[in-house]
Structure 1
Amino acid sequence: MNTVSLSGCRRQPEQLVVEKVSHHSIELSWRNGESDHTGPTESWTRFAVEKMDSKTHTYDTIYVGYSTQHVVDGLEPSTLYKFRVRITTPSGECRLTPTLSVSTTREPLSGKHLHQAVNRNDEEELTRVLQSGMVNVNVYDKLGFTPLMVAAQKGFGRIVHKLIEHGADIHMKNGSGKDCLMLACYAGHLDIVKYLRRFGATWQSRDMGGCTPLHWAADGGHLSVIAYMIQDGSELDARDSVSHWTPLMRVSAVSGNESVASLLIRAGADVNVRDKDGKTPLMVAVLNNHKELVELLLDSGADHHVKNEFGSGAAEMARAFGRTSLACWKKGRFCKLTSTSR
């Protein structure tokens, strides 16, 4: 755009007219009796639309041509703009219309505004968007999360309540198959977990890999959430559909969290359960070098004589992967894993 000045021009009594206004565009028109387009272009009156820079208060040329209308787009919503038209006749005479001030309209409410309100934990703005009736409460964001999923994951309890009051679907899932209950369980938001349960969220829900909310709670490591889930009837030994791992197996494979494993075991989780390759939680803990968990599993009745489908037990795995330091302290004596088979 070119910055222009008033030099050589006089004021023109004609005025700009606003034809249409939206949140991102303004359509302007003007009339001039000299705009005869029957001859060569050299005999035509030329028009230049100029827009004022709000910071410098100078004008930039945004259109030059022979039309008597122009649409200015790419504008910000709810913003004041100032325009004028520079009229140049074939003889070189220059005239300016009076400056026109016009504001763009407010941007229509959309899913973007709903997600912005949720991410900012802005209950007032959320209420405004929801009460407008213009936005689907279950609209996905670019990552495939609904507003309820985001609020549940972030622990925004009042936002969760408001969304459910306005019909948010607690059973919807993101691209990996996780629902809001799984996300809340993993993040450790017990109050939200309980609230979602009141409205029908189920422990039997599965993601794309077949994991349940308890699998994700075990990964998150929040004991209060896991304890509530166990008390509320969540299945302890549910298996995923990929490796056939139970929540205890997930602990053995991922975090090695003794406290989580102990809580699951005390509730009755099977310490000798096998995955699709015949591995037990003890074997998985050995492979992942979770020493304290290995001790806990042995003390809790894990059978180190069990072999996987390839004929290897926990002791063989410990030696093969250099886990020779894995051992347990039991009844006042130091007892290493042995390879004694049954």
Structure 2
Amino acid sequence: MSGKHLHCAVNINDEEGTRRVLQAGNVKVDVPDKLSFTPLMVAAQKGFTRLVNILVNHGADVNHKNGSGKDSLMLACFAGHLDVVKYLRKFGASWESRDKGGSTAMHWAADGGHLNVIDYMLRDGCKVDVKDNISLWTPLMRVSAVTGNADVASLLVKAGADVNMRDKDGKTPLMVAVLNNHEELVQLLSEKGADHQVKNEVQ
């Protein structure tokens, strides 16, 4: 039995195959694949809750990070697997963890756009206005720049996200939403107190 056997079993949601490899005792539960994903990361990303349980019960590290610094919680939040998110939190996964760009699980959840996951995260105490290390983007700024999802933005603002927070270039979420033609988001941010008079410090 090898790490390849374990990853093959996890990828196809083969619970018995996963148990068989782990019980053989000669494969580390956190063995990475070619992309530096552990079996737990794969199961979390795919939403295989029962496999997540099996792997954690065999000692999988819920806070292990891949090559880009992402952990299983970030992957589950992005993919929208609420049951997995709750399970990982129960076993010690941290909202404070950051990837190599400084993004947290909330940044990745905002990108994923799954409202039920974001709502749970907010109720569980996940910070809403944390900035990444590269552009100093908050999750709300990520919405303005990437998806334009007004429903996600509304949840974040309701939880206290600062609509006038600036990134490293002096841009606000409203400016970025305008630049990306996210019309519904522009309207929402305007209604929630975004300052139209703020000047872009790049100019």
TM above 0.5, one fold?
yes
Matched, 1:267 2:159: yes
Partner of 1:255: 147
Partner of 2:100: 208
Matched, 1:310 2:202: yes
Matched, 1:195 2:87: yes
Aligned-pair CA distance for 1:266 = 0.8
Cα deviation 1:130-186 (Å, max 9, x = unaligned) = 101010000000111000000000000000000000000111111111000000000
Correspondence for 1:279 among 168, 171, 183: 171
- Aligned mates of 1:306, 1:280 — CA distance in 2: 8
Cα deviation 1:39-63 (Å, max 9, x = unaligned) = xxxxxxxxxxxxxxxxxxxxxxxxx
Correspondence for 1:245 among 137, 151, 162: 137
- Aligned mates of 2:118, 2:176 — CA distance in 1: 21
Partner of 1:181: 73
Correspondence for 1:168 among 49, 60, 66: 60
Instruction: Give, as a single letter, the amino acid of the residue that structure 1 aligns with 2:155.
Output: L
Cα deviation 1:105-124 (Å, max 9, x = unaligned) = xxxx0000000010010001
- Aligned mates of 2:202, 2:81 — CA distance in 1: 41
Aligned-pair CA distance for 1:308 = 1.8
Backbone CA RMSD of aligned residues: 0.6
Task: State the identity %.
Answer: 72
Task: Give the alignment of 1:1-342 within 5 angstroms.
Answer: 109-311=1-203
Aligned-pair CA distance for 1:290 = 0.5
- Which of the pair has more CA radius of gyration? 1
Aligned-pair CA distance for 1:310 = 3.1
Partner of 1:44: none
Instruction: Give, as a single letter, the amino acid of the residue that structure 1 aligns with 2:99.
Output: D
- Aligned mates of 2:109, 2:202 — CA distance in 1: 31
Long gaps (5+) in structure 1: 1-108, 312-342
- Aligned mates of 1:245, 1:259 — CA distance in 2: 19
Which runs of 4 or more aligned residues in structure 1 lie more than 3 Å from their structure 2 counterparts after TM superposition?
none
Partner of 1:340: none
Q: How many residues align?
A: 203
Q: Name the structure with the higher strand share.
A: 1
Instruction: Give, as a single letter, the amino acid of the residue that structure 2 aligns with 1:141.
Output: D
- Aligned mates of 1:124, 1:203 — CA distance in 2: 31
TM-score of the aligned structures, taking structure 2 as reference length: 0.99
Long gaps (5+) in structure 2: none
1:142 counterpart SS class: coil
- Aligned mates of 2:9, 2:43 — CA distance in 1: 10
- Aligned mates of 1:289, 1:173 — CA distance in 2: 35
Instruction: Give, as a single letter, the amino acid of the residue that structure 1 aligns with 2:83.
Output: D
1:243 counterpart SS class: coil
Instruction: Give, as a single letter, the amino acid of the residue that structure 1 aligns with 2:89.
Output: R
User: More relative contact order in 1 or in 2 (CA 8 Å, sep 6+)?
Assistant: 2
Cα deviation 1:220-250 (Å, max 9, x = unaligned) = 0000000000001111100000000000000
